[in-house]
Amino acid sequence: MRQLPAFRIFVGLLSALLLHTAALGGPMNYIYPPPESGADVRMNFYWDVLQLALDETSAKWGPYTLQASPKVMTPGRAEVQLSAAQDITLMARTTSVEREKKLIPLRIPLDKGLTGYRLFLIKGNNQAALGSIRGLKELRQFSIGQAGNWVDGDILRHSELQVVPGPTYESLFSMLDAGRFDLFSRGVNEISAELAANAHTYPSLTIEKKLLLYYPLPRYFFFSRTPEGEQLAARAEEGLRILMRNGKFQKRYAVFKKSLLEDLQLSGRRILRIPNPLLPPETPLADKALWDDLSAELR
């Protein structure tokens, strides 16, 4: 009989040990970063999906806890803390080569790539000027706001687009309102809730009506590169794969997608596509079942 390589034997023994430890050591603790503000509901869908996945694996893996950290932290700080295995045990973030070097990625796009479809928040009185945009050449004449630690800034700069960085997520709304930049690029999965949450404070903001920017930008669960992180990641991935096989993921995603897109008026928009130079080569772009191309909504 052909013997397994020593590394594969080690991995098998480690997995068995982790499962045994989990069974004896109490619940597995999934602690994620808290919202960036009281009105920030962007991440709720991802934690709901994770809860479904963990419920599917309870018989095998045992009890778990799923909760936000009580410590307020920016996305950049959350990444530092997760890399150091402190305060949080996972996060849901868009991917990059550097991020996948530091952390364990679960390469299942949690929103089927919706984050890569970008609309723009603008000041309403700028719509006429933006109507002249026909392609990237014209788009380059306008400035786009993004937080300094988001991968989107580097993606936009790679296509020679003007980027104005903001220090925090919250600051970008006031900067847009003050005219510090022309466009605030947001995912179709984010923009409606953000506009509603800021309508009272910034009543002049609205969603630009003609354009849709796209670049492939999967959002994954990430875990620390520790034995605990490997254990937590293994259970989460197993649960997500189960949800995809039994149809529960698609059912939950369909509800999520409908709630996001029903008021966005995507039909007839001019789509501008740019590459994402930060995508790792392991990104599962060829697995079409993992992605949503929104072609029906754009007709």
Q: At residue 31, does pLDDT exceed 60?
A: yes
Question: For the segment 34-87, what is each residue's pLDDT rounded down to a tens digit?
Answer: 987 666 778 899 999 999 999 999 999 999 999 999 998 988 899 999 999 999
Quick one: which of 208, 292, 296 has its CA closest to 253? 292
Q: At residue 21, does pLDDT exceed 50?
A: no
Q: Which pTM value belongs to this model?
A: 0.84
Question: Helix 6-24 and helix 227-246: axis angle, to 10°?
Answer: 90
217: its two tokens: 């930008």
The pLDDT value given to residue 33: 95
- Please give the domain boundaries of the chain with CATH numbers for all domains: 6-112+218-260 (3.40.190.10), 114-216 (3.40.190.10)
Strands 64-68 and 28-32: parallel
Question: For the segment 112-140, what is each residue's pLDDT rounded down to a tens digit?
Answer: 999 999 999 999 999 999 988 999 999 99
Question: For the segment 163-177, what is each residue's pLDDT rounded down to a tens digit?
Answer: 999 998 899 999 999
The pLDDT value given to residue 206: 97
What is the rounded CA–CA span in Å between residue 128 and residue 101?
Answer: 44
Question: For the segment 214-271, what is each residue's pLDDT rounded down to a tens digit?
Answer: 999 999 999 999 999 999 999 999 999 999 999 999 999 999 999 889 889 899 999 9
244: its two tokens: 């995809």
Instruction: Name 4's Cβ contacts closer than 8 Å, sequence gap at least 6.
Output: 12
Mean pLDDT (whole number) for 98-124: 96
Give yes or no for a contact between 88 and 68, defined as CB atoms under 8 angstroms apart.
no
Q: At residue 181, does pLDDT exceed 90?
A: yes
